[in-house]
Structure 1
């Protein structure tokens, strides 16, 4: 299976090179783009304490895009609040940090095509009968105090379910593992990462995304790299490389609604 994915990737890279022309790729490969990320958005980007390097879903996506589009990456970190201004002013060439594509942000930076669909998602124990939001009626549900997931549950289910808000994500995951709730409903990246790490083999994410948002790679306005980045992302979806990266960090992709 992986060999087939590698073959598809090789063919896709060859096609991408032809689409740019030999000269264009040769020049692009000599380019180093200044990139920035937020070091604390787990599991999209985080510091590996053993190596001192940034790792995560976004980091894997960025490296794969860079390899395919033909540029090297000079990666720096900063607080999320400074990321869009850094791209806007040209201090960096691009940013990747779980950045939601919004109309306001699109006025000052360019975005790649969406590379990640975020939203809210259900987490249950393996083998649970719960598959969708409708199945949560009459169930005990854990979520986080003050979160959009709590508001969404109250709007959708009201008194039809026992909704318990917890002060932290660790608390609601412990409640699920201990049988105090039947499901957890929270941000898709967070529950997906828990399912792939501490909860692996015991819990799973189910159903579609709710209240969806999309993440994109932010680039300087009118950047020449928007098209190469988009072509790289499209090729990754086509040859299965994107799916491999997604499953590494989040497990099974959400069902379509």
Structure 2
């Protein structure tokens, strides 16, 4: 083979290589990824499966379905609850799907989608505790809450209560079981799930829900476009029955909203 032919072959190979590299780069740049922050200690909304180690739950199924509807690949990042909104503010995540209650204070910092779940705060006590029957009875008591939640905010309003904040709901329930606190204040579905999983042996729910709360998916304050896309996708999932399917899977009944 002559040097001239060899040189031409080398040039052809180089051109082909650059062409393939260009295609690869272009393909990577067009891939749409949605980075979603969650605190995976809030069953049945988000928690880590013991066997698969994957993040599962109502929120996880919903955000993945929303991402699929929008044409995004969803990547889940597990974070402490009180770090989720700061994560949006510094753009380390694009959205929060973590049983986050829509409040006026939070709306000053982030954009929320339309509500996708309605909840409320309830009390969990040990089975042998007959002294606490409602929120009034929590005055002067030791209360476990999850840091950064509406449950924590409401518990701090209770007269003379000693509020202990934990990174996640399981830690709060463990403290109750150990006798370190008199009660746990958290969202009703989370409390119900804990009692169901423990077989009602360790704890019970008491009193009526303190207030109605609505969960929303949070995005950065300036990211109105993403909030709009998520709202549209949520409407589509409700129309095509996918939302109801996910709801029934985790709560055993059809959604009320």
**Bin of the TM-score, shorter chain as denominator length:** 0.5 to 0.7
For the residues of structure 2 that align with 1:122 and 1:225, how far apart are their CA atoms? 35
Give 3-state SS (helix, strand or coil) of 2:221's partner: coil
Give yes or no for contact 1:196–1:251 (8 Å, CA) kept in 2: no
Pair 55,94 (structure 1): closer, same or farther in 2 beyond 3 Å: same
> C-alpha deviations, 1:5-46, integer Å up to 9, x for none?
xxxxxxxxxxxxxxxxxxxxxxx9831122111121122111
Contact 1:192 1:251 in 2 (8 A): no
**1:1-257 correspondence runs (5 A):** 30-120=31-121, 146=143, 187-193=187-193, 197=197, 211-223=211-223, 224-252=225-253
- The alpha-carbon deviation at position 141 of structure 1 amounts to 5.7
Residue aligned with 1:86, SS: helix
Larger Rg: 2
Q: Give me the CA root mean square deviation.
A: 4.2
What CA distance in whole angstroms lies between the structure 2 residues aligned with 1:78 and 1:186?
19
Give me the whole-angstrom Cα distance separating, in 1, the residues matched to 2:116 and 2:256: 16
Q: Gaps (5+ residues) in structure 2?
A: 1-28, 125-131, 145-150, 156-171, 177-184
Q: Is the 8 A contact 1:114 1:215 kept in 2?
A: yes
Q: C-alpha offsets along residues 144-191 of structure 1, whole Å, 9 cap, x if unaligned?
A: 87487xx9xxxxxxxxxxxxxxxx869x9xxxxxxxxxxxx9842125
Change beyond 3 A, Cα 1:120–1:244: farther
Query: Which residue of 2 is the match for residue 182 of structure 1?
Result: none
- Higher mean Cα deviation, 211-220 or 245-254? 245-254
Normalised by the size of structure 1, how large is the TM-score?
A: 0.58
